[in-house]
Amino acid sequence: MAPPANRAVWQDAPAAPGVIRDSTIPGSDELGDHKVLVKVHAWAINPCDYMLQDRDMGLAYPMILGCDVAGTVEAVVPGSPAASKFSVGDRVFGFCANNGFQEYVVLEDKLMAKVPDNMAYREPVVLGLCIATSAMFLFGEDYLQLEYPRPGAPKNGKSVLIWGGSSAVGSNAIQLVTAAGYDAIATCSKKNFDYVKSLGAAQVFDYKDADVTEKLVAELDKGECAGIFMAAGLKDGNAAAIKVAAASKQTLKFASSNFIENLEEIPKGVEVKQLSPGSFKPFPICWFETTPATFEGYLPQALASGAYKIAPPPLVINNKGLEGIQEAIDLQRMIGEKGQEGVKAAFIRAKGEVNEDEVTPVKLIVERA
């Protein structure tokens, strides 16, 4: 059967808005053993989408941005390992490293899972890239090497500091370490304390508090801290979290969602867990090792049982399909630049009005028309 026609939002040059035109689509026989073709019904937006759109990252143009998608399985090679997990028509969610802003997207079978029956696409689509990123840094052999989450894991008496617990990556990190038995100690703004606690954080601290370093060190040094994960704060998160690690009486492992620079300046007592630029595992292989915490292990069952929360909650910006992607990228950029004011603007765009008390962290979503 001839593959269906495909369209994509093309990035033709840095700092240009996306342009919609045709794109190629692999035939079902071209997918190979571990790839699945998905017809997309919902796309989630990440900060990297506007950052990659705005800057010249040395990428080969034209290219297609976008990572998080949910939809229905359109094709899988019969008899392949992927076909033993997914069938045509299955409702699925997952992510790819760019190439997501298309009508039809190819996903790795290790980086996708079925959508629970009672869930709309807009819900699990928020998770893909962020849970995989969190899992890699928390559980990966090159990073914090924490114990994996599992249903009913007993508390192990150790803590993990999640710096930036209200971010999309942090929202997943809190849930994952808590499900593995650790006490999640998190930082965020005061307005997000309830949100972060609702994800399972044992203690929450305001990172803008002048005494936050001392308060966190006192908390972490009450017992054994298994590590620090910096999940937000592009400009200053690493420095602030390293300050905590250095002041602790324990030698603390530290991993970050943003590259840690000037390693020669890292103080004693901080064990940075980071690969050198030349040793990075390429996409998508870097996410495969830790799928026991995500798509191939803990996540599907925890999601279906309600143990794992959809966080940050989805905020549907439009249902214009590909025609609505650029608007959502622009709103994500506004959130990145203006913080809470940007989030309010997104609420007003989505709901027509905003009640200050209802503004929580959100993940922007575009749905198929």
Ligand X SMILES: NC(=O)c1ccc[n+]([C@@H]2O[C@H](COP(=O)([O-])OP(=O)(O)OC[C@H]3O[C@@H](n4cnc5c(N)ncnc54)[C@H](OP(=O)(O)O)[C@@H]3O)[C@@H](O)[C@H]2O)c1
| Nearest to ligand X of 75, 204 (CB atom) | 204
CA–CA distance, 304 with 307 (Å, rounded to integer): 8
Contact map string, positions 42 to 71, toward ligand X, x by CB under 6 A: ----xx------------------------
Per rule CB under 6 A, count of chain residues that contact ligand X: 25
48 vs 266, beta carbon nearer ligand X: 48
Q: Give 77 or 231: the residue with its C-beta nearer to ligand X.
A: 231
Encoded one letter per residue, x for contact with ligand X by CB under 6 A and - for no contact, window 229-248 reads --xxxx-xx-----------
* 47: enclosing H helix or E strand: helix 47-54
Q: Rule CB under 6 A: say whether 187 interacts with ligand X.
A: yes
Nearest residue (CB) to ligand X, 45 versus 270: 45
Neighbour order of strands in the sheet with 183-188: 203-206, 183-188, 158-163, 224-230, 252-256, 270-272
Per-residue binding letters, 256-275, with ligand X (x by CB under 6 A): -xx-----------------
Half-sphere exposure (CA, 13 Å, Cβ side) for 84? 6
**Residue 147 to residues 71, 217, 253, 256, 333: CA-CA distances in angstroms?**
32, 23, 14, 18, 35
Query: Using the rule CB under 6 A, is 129 a contact of ligand X?
Result: yes
Q: Which stretch binds ligand X (CB under 6 A): 107-115, 126-134, 215-223, 316-324?
A: 126-134
* Contact range with ligand X by CB under 6 A, out of 11-19, 73-81, 162-170, 346-354: 162-170
Of residues 198-217, those binding ligand X (CB under 6 A): 207
Return the residue of 40, 138, 168, 302 that touches ligand X, per CB under 6 A. 168
Q: Distance between CA atoms of 253 and 270, rounded to whole angstroms?
A: 6
In the complex with ligand X, the residue whose CB is nearer, 185 or 188, is 188
Is residue 166 within the footprint of ligand X (CB under 6 A)? yes
The least CB distance from residue 322 to ligand X, in Å, is 21
Enter the tokens of residue 251.
Answer: 């030698």
C-alpha torsion angle, residues 284, 288, 292, 293 (rounded to 10): -40
Q: Does 329 bind ligand X (CB under 6 A)?
A: no
Contacts of 96 (CB under 8 A, 6+ apart): 66, 67, 69, 105, 106, 107, 108, 111, 284
CA separation for the pair 168, 33 (Å, rounded): 31
Stretch near ligand X under the rule CB under 6 A, chosen from 9-17, 105-113, 151-159, 184-192: 184-192
Q: How far apart are CA 48 and CA 167, in angstroms?
A: 13
Q: Which residues contact 54 (CB under 8 A, 6 or more apart)?
A: 14, 15, 333
- 21 beta partners: 8
Exactly one of 164, 181, 200, 314 binds ligand X (CB under 6 A); that residue is 164
CA–CA separation, 72 vs 24, rounded Å?
A: 18
Catalog residues that contact ligand X under the rule CB under 6 A: 46-47, 129-130, 133, 163-164, 166-169, 187-189, 192, 207, 231-234, 236-237, 257-258, 361
